[in-house]
Amino acid sequence: MDYDVKKGHGKEIEGDGLRKIAEEVFGSAKTEGDMVVTKYGALTHLDAKVKDKTTITVNTTTDPKASVEVAADTIKQYNVFLEKTTGFTSKERRTRLQKKAKEGKL
């Protein structure tokens, strides 16, 4: 899934910034080519890359058998990761996504 990056926030994720944020939020992360790869809680796999200055791409695989507590913590940390990488809160991301859906841009 592609996420918009707030104007001026791209400098936070340039270079090794995306990996550092993933490591800070999830505890560990590694770089494979242009992708940052990690796992955490119910996320059995997460890879993310900077598509351009205004967009990041994130792909996830989750464990459907994870407990409710693990899943809730994972969602919380994933939202922290997205906020730190995009500069937008979950509410702002939802609003932007709804607007794009209405405009047929998804």
Each domain of the chain, given as residue ranges in start order, spans 2-103
Residue with the two structure tokens 């500069």:
87
Q: Is the pLDDT of residue 105 over 80?
A: no
Instruction: Please give the Cα distance from 67 to 35 (Å, whole number).
Output: 28
Work out the percent of the chain whose per-residue pLDDT is above 70. Answer: 99
Task: Provide CB contacts within 8 A for 51, sequence distance 6+.
Answer: 2, 57
Q: Confidence class of residue 100 from pLDDT cuts 50, 70 and 90?
A: confident
E-assigned strands of the chain? Answer: 2-4, 30-32, 35-40, 43-52, 55-62
Supply the pTM of this predicted model.
0.91
- Given the candidates 3.30.310.190, 1.10.3720.10, 3.40.50.300, 3.40.50.880, the CATH classification of the domain at 2-103 is 3.30.310.190
Q: Confidence class of residue 53 from pLDDT cuts 50, 70 and 90?
A: confident
Indicate left, alpha or beta for 64 from its phi (over 0: left) and psi (-120 to 50: alpha).
alpha
